[in-house]
Structure 1
């Protein structure tokens, strides 16, 4: 879906979420605590939300949040947590230009 590609390419950190999802809120807090300024797309509040959600499911993610770093799919909350615990999240955020240390 071209609209999804455009949304993902607009910023180096993009999070798709639903306003009622606790884990989505947690991911946004997690990234902003690093000093990141993610583009946040509320799938339950934007006009093409269901269509975008369907496109995200083709990437293999049927649940939110879905995070893209440097225009690449990073995954959901479990994947982001794993990346952080193994020490590869912050370097990826730096390479993508999300964080400037």
Structure 2
């Protein structure tokens, strides 16, 4: 498991700029964005590690960082029913294969339904 300290301005993660959560999500098979010391982030990490995945963990320490990252992640999320972005973002936020899976609830749902392992394989995070 690798830990990533976010840059001072998380919104710098545009596709043309360097750094940022968007760039990490595009380049790394599994990324978990969560609050430093959050028990739910720990649960997500343990579940993924138990499946043999080594996620990159992006830990957020301050409220300003968290607000900026939530805004950036909201723009990357799935379109809402009106065709727009900006869906509410929960932390930890889990990305698999460049796609926002969601929070702990969505990750657990995918795991219980048997969709998580195939998604991890498709993203290149699992080989077996």
* TM-score bin, normalised by smaller chain: 0.7 to 0.9
59, 80, 87: which one aligns with 1:42? 59
Distance 1:38 1:61 in 2: 23
Q: Is the 8 A contact 1:43 1:53 kept in 2?
A: no
Distance 2:61 2:101 in 1: 21
Q: Is the 8 A contact 2:26 2:98 kept in 1?
A: yes
Q: Residues 22-101 of structure 1: matches in 2 within 5 Å?
A: 22-44=39-61, 48-58=65-75, 59=77, 60-101=87-128
- Quote the offset at 1:53 in angstroms: 2.6
Partner deviation per Cα, 1:46-101 (whole Å, 9 max, x = no partner) = x9554223222443243211000000111110000001111111011011111110
Partner of 2:8: none
Partner of 1:20: 37
Which TM-score applies when normalising by structure 1? Answer: 0.86
Q: Is the 8 A contact 2:90 2:102 kept in 1?
A: no
The secondary structure found in structure 1 opposite 2:61 is: coil
State the superposition RMSD in angstroms.
1.9
Aligned length: 100
- Quote the offset at 1:9 in angstroms: 1.2
